[in-house]
Amino acid sequence: MKIRKVIVPVGGLGTRFLPATKAIPKEMLPVVDRPLIQYAVEEAWAAGAEHVIFVTSRGKKSIEDHFDHFPELEELLSLRGKVDMLQSATDMIPEAGRIHYTRQSHPLGLGHAIWCARELVGDEPFAIILPDDLIHARKPVLQQMTEGFQKVRAPMIAVMEVEQQETSKYGIVAVEEEKNALMRVRSMVEKPAPQEAPSRLAIIGRYILTPEIFDILGDQEEGRQGEIQLTDAMAGLLKRQVIYAYRFQGTRYDCGDNAGYLMANLALAMERPALAERLIPFLKKFPLNGESSSS
Ligand code: UTP
């Protein structure tokens, strides 16, 4: 029951970051010095995955290039003796045959993107990482989940508590017993209005699912925002199987949102002494009451 394959969907349009994402995929935006997809792929390897499957779309070629060699650049760095730079550009390139790509021709929603990977996943449990949910954790979250999966051997979704007024941005789950880290899901609903949300436990972008989800996704009708929603399909799966919600350990940054993305950059930069040393005096220039620092 090892989780060998991880789907990383990158077929979306990234409209919340326009105009930056007109020609550059949202998933290629850097946090400090690495693009979001690199954090996702590193998390997959840390969890013991053997294959990463990207669901891409038009204009996402730079994602493929990122995980490939760039001979001219490597030669130049080598000639100039830039060993560290050469290493950082090549160490993250996976062994041939471990990264796979399939296309989603139209951005019909996350559920549809996952369904596009069905043939590459085949008949085994698999994981999903949404690269714009960057989770900073001592033990990578997918690893926390694969360890939990070995115990319960059932589909599992990462959750965290959000503010009541934020429920309409997330898939929300109701669980049997809220106090544990691993909780049996009773129901789930995509983006409920705050007054209709069954709880404040929001689904965050890490999932372990079984291949039954592909059959359900194949027949899934459009849901909220006219998209094929993964949460709706998981609600269907819940009628057939036990699903667990897992309250992960770590800090999540919503890098699909401008403020969350900036917070991720600041938080991760502060962990590097050389950057923190320069950033702290700079940030002190910004008064908390919102007055302009230049006056
Ligand atoms: P989001 O909803 O956050 O991404 O999907 P988006 O639609 O690209 O962004 P906005 O809302 O327009 O700004 C989460 C992940 O699912 C992928 C996205 O690429 C992102 O990594 N996704 C989303 C797909 O692969 N296909 C889709 O049809 C939708």
Note whether residue 293 is domain-resident. Answer: no
Q: Domain of 197?
A: 5-280
What integer pLDDT is reported at residue 261 of this predicted model? 97
Between CA 240 and CA 268 the distance in angstroms is 41
Note whether residue 294 is domain-resident. Answer: no
Assess contact for 279 and 49: CB atoms under 8 A: no
Q: Kindly report the CATH number assigned to the domain that includes residue 207.
A: 3.90.550.10
For 52-103, the pLDDT digits (tens) are: 999 999 999 999 999 999 999 999 999 999 999 999 999 999 999 999 999 9
Between CA 163 and CA 56 the distance in angstroms is 32
CB of residue 12 inside a 6 A radius of ligand 1: yes
Note whether residue 45 is domain-resident. Answer: yes
Between CA 7 and CA 55 the distance in angstroms is 7
- Atom index in ligand 1 nearest the CA of residue 26 equals 8
Note whether residue 290 is domain-resident. Answer: no
What integer pLDDT is reported at residue 290 of this predicted model? 58
For 265-278, the pLDDT digits (tens) are: 999 999 999 999 99
Tokens of residue 65, six digits: 């290039």
Tokens of residue 84, six digits: 């560290």
DSSP, collapsed to helix, strand or coil, labels residue 163 as coil
The model carries a pTM of: 0.94
Structural domain count, the chain: 1
What integer pLDDT is reported at residue 160 of this predicted model? 96
Note whether residue 164 is domain-resident. Answer: yes
Between CA 270 and CA 276 the distance in angstroms is 5
- Atom index in ligand 1 nearest the CA of residue 108 equals 28
What integer pLDDT is reported at residue 292 of this predicted model? 54
Note whether residue 243 is domain-resident. Answer: yes
Between CA 256 and CA 264 the distance in angstroms is 11
- Atom index in ligand 1 nearest the CA of residue 106 equals 28
CB of residue 25 inside a 6 A radius of ligand 1: no
Between CA 90 and CA 276 the distance in angstroms is 26
For 188-231, the pLDDT digits (tens) are: 999 999 999 999 999 999 999 999 999 999 988 888 888 899 99
Note whether residue 39 is domain-resident. Answer: yes
Distance 228 CA to ligand 1 centre (A): 12
| DSSP-derived pairing of the beta strands 51-56 and 5-9 | parallel
